């Protein structure tokens, strides 16, 4: 059994997947399995993946009969994994050759309660050029005390971005046993924020200052494609449809769902009552800062319950 499992959920990834697969196979740490789950792609993704799987026994490829949405596909590759550590890999991002070896070494030498290792991130465009003005998460401090971790994620000045703004750590290396205690990727926009908060309540994150992860920004990725075609509530619906096509045209009430998810995670802390109270206080402050936005979302949801959803585009 491989010590590291890499899960690649993909839909129509032929544009960049070859470069991504080559970067994974070029790792100097070789004790890994790569699980590819194809969400019923209609381009050359299948042919490319089957070709790589036929040449390297570490790669397994399976294809879903229909597009189940990103959330279910992300969770599927985790469910198929068996390694002690797990990493999600998008079809368009890249790893430098020392990504896995550095992250595994950090786990092996770090505190046993650590749940995630995330290196610094470089951002590139579709041609591989550095993207100006888009940097890594500014706060890379490792905190062993859970309340400080949570505060650094949720209680930051409005002009300072927290680790949640970009969520690059979601593409770090996780301890599998910690992910098993989370909700994984839920079926609504920015559910990776919820996952990171849940994990922060379980154990510390370990940061590597070296740029080992390369995130590709391009017009066809999920978020930028939605932003190109929609704004406001229409944008939220588009992103929600990417996460879960079964949601149809309904408004996802993202901030409200995040609020409830953060609160449930705080209240379910298995430690002392004082820890639960501390975590709940931090979450309630985050909710209070967004009370107007939450009230607006609830109004939209109630209106849709009475009158049905309204949407200016037809989901694909």
* pLDDT greater than 60 at residue 137: no
Q: 131: part of which helix (H) or strand (E)?
A: none
Q: Is residue 118 a contact partner of residue 208, using CB atoms and an 8 Å limit?
A: yes
DSSP at 316: -
* pLDDT greater than 60 at residue 136: no
How much is the pLDDT for 311? 55
Could you read off the pLDDT of 250-267 as tens digits, one per residue?
A: 889 999 999 999 999 999
Output the pTM of the full model.
Answer: 0.91
Gap between the Cα atoms of 247 and 226, Å rounded: 16
| 254-267 and 191-202 helices, crossing angle to 10° | 10
Number of H helices, E strands in the chain: 12, 8
Residues of the chain with CATH 3.90.550.10: 4-216
Under 8 Å CB-to-CB from 169, ≥6 apart: which residues? 116, 118, 137, 163, 196, 205
Assign domain 4-216 to a CATH class: alpha beta
Gap between the Cα atoms of 131 and 121, Å rounded: 12
Strand 173-175 to 205-216 pairing = unpaired
Q: Which residue has the tokens 């939605």?
A: 226
∠ CA 277-278-284 to the nearest 5 degrees? Answer: 85
Q: What is the average pLDDT value for the chain, to the nearest integer?
A: 87
How much is the pLDDT for 142? 63
Strands (E), 179-256: 205-216
Could you read off the pLDDT of 26-36 as tens digits, one per residue?
A: 999 999 999 99
How much is the pLDDT for 232? 63
């Amino acid at each position: 059994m491989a010590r590291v499992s890499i899960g690649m959920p993909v839909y129509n990834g032929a544009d960049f997947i070859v470069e991504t697969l080559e970067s994974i196979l070029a790792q100097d740490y070789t004790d890994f399995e790569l699980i590819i789950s194809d969400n019923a792609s209609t381009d050359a993704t299948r042919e490319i993946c089957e070709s790589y799987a036929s040449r390297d026994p570490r790669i397994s490829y399976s294809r879903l009969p229909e597009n189940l949405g990103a959330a279910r596909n992300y969770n599927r590759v985790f469910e198929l994994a068996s390694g002690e550590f797990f990493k999600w890999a998008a079809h368009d991002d890249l790893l430098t050759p020392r990504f896995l070896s550095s992250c595994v070494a950090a786990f092996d030498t770090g505190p046993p309660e650590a749940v995630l290792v995330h290196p610094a991130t470089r951002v590139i465009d579709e041609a591989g050029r550095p993207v100006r003005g888009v940097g890594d998460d500014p706060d890379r401090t490792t905190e062993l005390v859970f309340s400080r971790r949570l505060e650094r994620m949720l209680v930051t000045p409005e002009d300072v971005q927290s680790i949640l703004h970009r969520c690059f750590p979601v593409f770090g290396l996780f301890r599998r046993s910690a992910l098993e205690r989370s909700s994984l990727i839920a079926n609504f926009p920015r559910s990776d924020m919820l996952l990171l908060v849940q994990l922060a309540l379980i154990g510390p994150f370990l940061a590597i200052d070296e740029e080992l992860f390369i995130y590709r920004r391009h017009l066809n990725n999920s978020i930028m494609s939605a932003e190109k075609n929609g704004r406001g509530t229409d944008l939220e619906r588009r992103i929600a449809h990417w996460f879960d096509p079964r949601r149809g045209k309904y408004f996802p009430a993202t901030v409200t769902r995040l609020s409830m998810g953060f609160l449930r995670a705080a209240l379910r802390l298995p430690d002392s009552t004082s820890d639960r109270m501390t975590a709940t206080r931090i979450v309630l402050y985050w909710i209070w800062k967004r009370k107007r936005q939450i009230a607006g979302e609830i109004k939209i949801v109630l209106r849709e319950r009475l009158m049905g959803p309204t949407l200016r585009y037809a989901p694909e």
